[in-house]
Every structure is written in structure tokens, then in C-alpha cells.
Amino acid sequence: MAVADIPTTGKTNERPGTRAVVRHVRMSATKARVVLDLIRNKDVQTADEILKFSERDAAIVIRKLLHSAVANAEHNDEQIADDLYVSACFADEGKTLRRFRPRARGRATRIRKRTCHITIIVSRLPEQELARKRAKDAQRPGSRAARVAGQQLEQQGRRRRRRNRNAAAEQEHDHDHEHEEGPAEEVGAVDTTEPVLEAMEAEDAAIDAAAEQEQAEVAQDEVAQDEAAQEEIAPEATDDESPEGEEN
């Protein structure tokens, strides 16, 4: 999903959103930029799927970095993961490690081992794009949103049919009672509509409670999946693992 109104001008350090940075990655910035171009301006779900099935080695590191950025947005900025998209991503060149390979006649050839610093910034989708995305997810077969929406529609239909059936039965009963015994006040009939209404309200409350419990279970499953994904995130490189230590 591409977002139309994305600020493409201005300094990258001043762009709004939550960021995650990994430094001294042992690959060239050119190789990382090829993968970053695939996920720029995409929502986090689509970006994660693209990186998951990408055949480039840079996608492994970038996918972990994307999970880290989403986790930062959830815990630090109190954002919802499903409402985020990759607003900016770029790779800067890092230090170059110089090695030498012996060649013929006592000569040596220089080998350059490139490094890069990768940054991903995630932001909340605009309201129009967010509403369009939610409607699309609700219509997608097999998704949780579609399942919950279908269950809610089914419950509403059951309630409507039950109320119509009870109303028709009450009208028929009142009509037969008036023809046989006259008005209810004269024969001392007891009004039985209130217990029926109370039973209907109790049944509706039970259905609502079951729906709320199911939505809570769905939310717990999503939180568990997010925690499992966060466990796969690799920590950022420390100072001991910097290329300067390798060079020494």
C-alpha cells in the first residue's frame, strides 16, 4: 500500500515517527538500498511479507530492524502496530575495512570490506488510508477481522429473527385471546410480556459477553504473536563488536 501524502523533502533526521538504527552492518550500502526500496511507503504487514520472501541476504537484517522499529513505536510512543507504515528508510556508508591479498611477484591487492548504517522510520497511517486498509482487511477472507465481522453480523441476524418471531407470536396470542375471552382486564389475565422481554435481554447480554470474550482472545493472540516476533530481533552491535576492534 502506497501513501499519497508523504513528505519527501527535508532532512531525514527531522522526519516525524519512530526510528530504529543498526550500525556497522557487514555489507555495502548499495546492497541494502536495493531491499529498502522495496518496503518504502508500505504498511508494516506488507513490508514484513516482502522481506520474509525476499531472496537477498540484506532482507534478514532489515526485517529484524523493522520489527525493532515497530516494537519501539508500541512501547515508547504507544502506537498500534497495524496502523504503522514505513515512512522513511535509508542506508548510509560506514567505515571500510582494508585487507590485502597476496599476488604474484611479491605484490598485494587491496580488498575493501564495506559496512553501512541502516535506519527505518515508521509512522501512523493517515486517517483516510487507515480507514481504507481496515475495510480491505475486513473483506479479506480468512482474516481475523473478517471472522469477527461475520460473527457480529450473524449475532445481529439471530437477534432480529428472534424478536420478529416473538413479536408475531405475541400478536397472534393476543388476537386469539381477545376473540375467545374478551379483554384481558375483564377476565383477570396476567401480562406475560415482561418475563419474555427480560429473557430476551438476558440472552442478548450473554451473546454480547461471548463476543467481547472472543475479541479479547483475538487481542491476546495478537499480543502473543508480537512478543514472539520481538524475541527474534537481534540487539544492536556493541562497541566491542565495532569494526575498529577487528582492525586492531
Asked, for residue 42, whether it belongs to a domain, the answer is yes
Q: Which helix (H) or strand (E) is 213 found in, with range?
A: helix 193-231
Q: Is 114 found in the same domain as 31?
A: yes
Q: 10 Å Cβ neighbour count for 152?
A: 14
Asked, for residue 3, whether it belongs to a domain, the answer is no
Q: Is 221 found in the same domain as 196?
A: yes
Lowest mean pLDDT across 100-104, 155-159, 230-234, 240-244: 240-244
Q: How far apart are CA 82 and CA 125, in angstroms?
A: 9
Q: Is 223 found in the same domain as 203?
A: yes
Return contacts of 79-82, CB within 8 angstroms, 24+ apart.
79/18, 79/124, 81/44, 81/226, 82/44, 82/45
Q: Summarize pLDDT for 18-70 with one digit per residue, the tens.
A: 999 999 999 999 999 999 999 999 999 999 999 999 999 999 999 999 999 99
**Residue where one domain finishes, among candidates 96, 113, 137:** 137
Q: Is 132 found in the same domain as 206?
A: no
Q: Is 149 found in the same domain as 133?
A: no
Contact criterion met (CB below 8 Å) for 32 and 89 = no
CATH number for the domain including 72? 3.90.470.10
| CA angle (50 as vertex; 46, 55 as ends), nearest 5 | 175
Q: Is 193 found in the same domain as 107?
A: no
H helix runs in 25-57, sequence order: 29-39, 44-52
Q: Summarize pLDDT for 216-248 with one digit per residue, the tens.
A: 777 777 777 777 767 766 555 445 555 554 444
Whole-prediction pTM: 0.54
Q: What are the distances in angstroms from CA 24 to CA 40, 72, 113, 233, 238? A: 22, 20, 11, 16, 10
Asked, for residue 155, whether it belongs to a domain, the answer is yes
Asked, for residue 70, whether it belongs to a domain, the answer is yes
Which domain does 26 fall in, by range? 12-137
Q: Is 177 found in the same domain as 160?
A: yes
Cell 451473546 found at: 207
Q: Is 115 found in the same domain as 26?
A: yes
Please give the grid coordinates belonging to residue 12: 531525514
Q: How far apart are CA 85 and CA 59, in angstroms?
A: 17
Closest by CA to 90, choosing from 111, 73, 69, 75, is: 69
Q: What are the distances in angstroms from CA 37 to CA 109, 134, 232, 243? A: 33, 25, 23, 26
What pLDDT is stored for residue 211 in this prediction?
75
Q: Is 48 found in the same domain as 96?
A: yes
**Residue where one domain finishes, among candidates 115, 137, 159:** 137
**Residue where one domain finishes, among candidates 86, 102, 137:** 137
Q: Is the pLDDT at 159 greater than 80, yes or no?
A: yes
Q: Is 29 found in the same domain as 66?
A: yes
Domain count along the chain: 2
Contact criterion met (CB below 8 Å) for 87 and 113 = no
If one compares 150 and 114, the residue with the highest pLDDT of the two is 114
Give φ, ψ of 72 to 5 degrees.
-65, -40
Q: Is 120 found in the same domain as 146?
A: no
Asked, for residue 153, whether it belongs to a domain, the answer is yes
Asked, for residue 7, whether it belongs to a domain, the answer is no
Contact criterion met (CB below 8 Å) for 32 and 118 = yes
Q: Is 212 found in the same domain as 155?
A: yes
